[in-house]
Homo-oligomer: A and B are copies of this chain.
Amino acid sequence: MKKIKIGVIGAGRIGKIHVDNLRRIPEAEIVAVSDLFAGEELQEWAGSRGIGIVTKDSEEILSNPDIDAVFICSSTDTHVELIKRAAQEGKHIFCEKPVSMDISLTEEALEEVRKAGVQLQVGFNRRFDHNFKRVREHVQAGEIGSPHLIKITSRDPEPPPEAYIKVSGGIFMDMMIHDFDMARFLSGSEVEEVFAQGSVLIDPVFSKYGDVDTAIVTLRFENGALGLIDSSRRAVYGYDQRAEVFGSKGAVSVTNDHPNTAVLTTENGLRSDKPLHFFLERYQGAYMDETEQFIDCLLNGKPVPVNGNDGRQAERIALAAKLSHQQQRVVKLSEIEDLK
């Protein structure tokens, strides 16, 4: 059996998720893992998973001729350089979102990928979620006719720590980039105009970094359809991830996943448990699926399901939203640099 040999760069929370998912895929073998802060703990963690090489230096992975593909799970500011190096070494790439916060740097990375002829998959895991996938299927099957309105709700259970807020790139790039990708995914159409509004309603710390914690973005798509996204850094009841596509023949909507279906009915009314609390629980299956499909595409020479252009377009919408919010006006996506 042919196996894809993999190096994982960055062993934080998301890197570890990918490692554990990759271990469940018989056709994948994790050869090495690197992390700037690699120490005894990581050594032990990797050892218990049968990973031979643990290093602080990602270059050990990039230059290792045994390795077919890399998972880039390090901080966003390292993505572009790592993609370029991996491409130069002829390695296929799975890169966490966003590729970068600067569209021309993203373009540099994509250009290197194209030149090298390697595959690049961007980590828009939500496309693989059982709920959102089903919406897309209904839309693509024509069951709602042509889309008129695309609605996305995206709320986190709690804000990140200040240290993260500082370097996050802001709510539009850090958090809503998932929603911008989702808007393209669900509608099957490209965005033409963006309008964004934001408020600081949860924690004044966001103001300190020119960021907001509550935001809405409206979109106009090429086909005239309109989009609405609402986002919050804190839904006290847990992760809130819903969507609806409304069209000429009907609508399809998805709501949250819950830990069980129990309903308690008493004198005080009906009560049930709140939604799954965070992305690790809600998107567990989605993370597994995106990884399986990536490996499958490499093995069978098929194009990856979320490519560099998907990464770039979501970034462009995020940049447009940021600009719209700053300037309090509608921003046309054409104002944001695209592929040369």
Contacts and interface: CB of A to CB of B under 8 A. Distances in A.
Contacts of A268: 271, 274
Contacts of A266: 143-144, 236-237, 249-250, 274
Nearest to A133: B260
B270 A265 contact: no
A34 B266 CA distance: 41
A297 to B, nearest CB: 23
Contact of A199 (B225, B232, B267): B225
B199 A148 contact: yes
Interface string A245-266: 0101111111111011111111
Contacts of A256: 261
Contacts of A309: none
A267 B238 CA distance: 8
A296 interface: no
Interface string A120-159: 0000000000110111001000011010110100010000
Given A148-B201, A225-B201, A134 B262 contact: yes
A268 B254 CA distance: 18
Contacts of A133: 260
B264 A274 contact: no
A235 interface: yes
A48 B1 CA distance: 11
Nearest to A270: B272
A235 to B, nearest CB: 7
Contacts of A240: 251
User: How many of chain A's residues touch chain B, expressed as a range?
Assistant: 35 or more
Interface stretch (A8-16, A65-73, A92-100, A216-224): A216-224
Given A214-B149, A216-B218, A144 B250 contact: no
A122 to B, nearest CB: 23
A120 to B, nearest CB: 28
Nearest to A48: B26
A330 interface: yes
Contacts of A249: 236, 266-267
Contacts of A260: 130-131, 133-134, 254
B271 A263 contact: no
B214 A148 contact: yes
Contacts of A220: 197, 199
A279 B269 CA distance: 18
A161 to B, nearest CB: 19
A254 B264 contact: no
Query: Closest 6 CB pairs between A and B?
Result: A250-B266, A134-B262, A199-B224, A134-B260, A130-B260, A237-B265
Interface of A: 26, 48, 130-131, 133-135, 138, 143-144, 146, 148-149, 151, 155, 193, 195, 197-202, 214-216, 218, 220, 224-226, 228, 230, 232, 234-237, 240, 246, 248-257, 259-275, 328-330
